[in-house]
Amino acid sequence: MITPEEILQKVNEHCTEKQYTLNDGFRSKFSEKFAEANPDVDITDEKVLNSIKFNIDTAFSAASKELKMKDETWKSKESEYLKQIETFKKKNELVDPDAAKKKVAFELPDDLKKELEEIKKFKEQKRMQEKRANVLQIAQKKVREDLKSNLEDVLNIMELDYSKDENELAEKLNSSFTKLYKDKIGDIRPGSSNSNKPKDEDWLNGVKKVQIK
């Protein structure tokens, strides 16, 4: 019987490979629903894996389109609100001709304040998602291919200051990952093209001799 944990592992691997920024909540819910809908499938079946990848690709595409539309909407609103602010300033100056010189403060309507705050939060969320993806991509260059999904797991539980440089954050991620995994799996660094191919002599030397009577 397939488990949500098995599906989640495949989802994380695919998201890491494709650099998808789908949040952990969505990944977990998808894994649970997929397991409920397909309880008897084999996780190693290529058709099952392709189905998982297709669903994740579709979800990310939809999320990206929604994000783009929301971004365009916020940009339009921001432009409109900035015009309103200028209008408030001019009205304030009409009431007091010396307002510009005095830098008299004016109060924005509550609804306008709320909308501007939402725009600010949205922009910050988008910036952090993009920076997180960049940090992961940089850090993955120093990690073996089979450990990349584990690297993202470590990133998910770390609290990083995204105001810092991406390379600095990637270095911190690699350092934390090394501390957690090096004693268990050895060298985490990616090897050369020949590093995983033992020489014939070394392999033969490791073969146990059998005494023939």
Total Cβ atoms within 10 A of residue 146: 11
- Distance, CA of 116 to CA of 118 (rounded, Å): 5
Q: What single DSSP character describes residue 59?
A: H
Distances 182 to 13, 178, 188, 190, 197 between C-alpha atoms, Å: 20, 5, 6, 13, 21
Q: Which residue has the tokens 């050895």?
A: 186
pLDDT confidence of residue 131: 87
pLDDT confidence of residue 79: 75
pLDDT confidence of residue 169: 92
Q: How far is C-alpha 45 from the geometric centre of its chain's CA atoms?
A: 27
Closest CA to 134 of 162, 95, 97: 162
Mean pLDDT computed over every residue of the chain: 75
Q: How far is C-alpha 207 from the geometric centre of its chain's CA atoms?
A: 45
Average pLDDT over residues 139-143: 88
Scanning 19-147, the segments in alpha helix (DSSP H) are 24-37, 46-95, 99-102, 110-140
Total Cβ atoms within 10 A of residue 137: 13
pLDDT at 134 over 50: yes
Q: How far is C-alpha 177 from the geometric centre of its chain's CA atoms?
A: 17
Q: What pTM was computed for the model?
A: 0.44
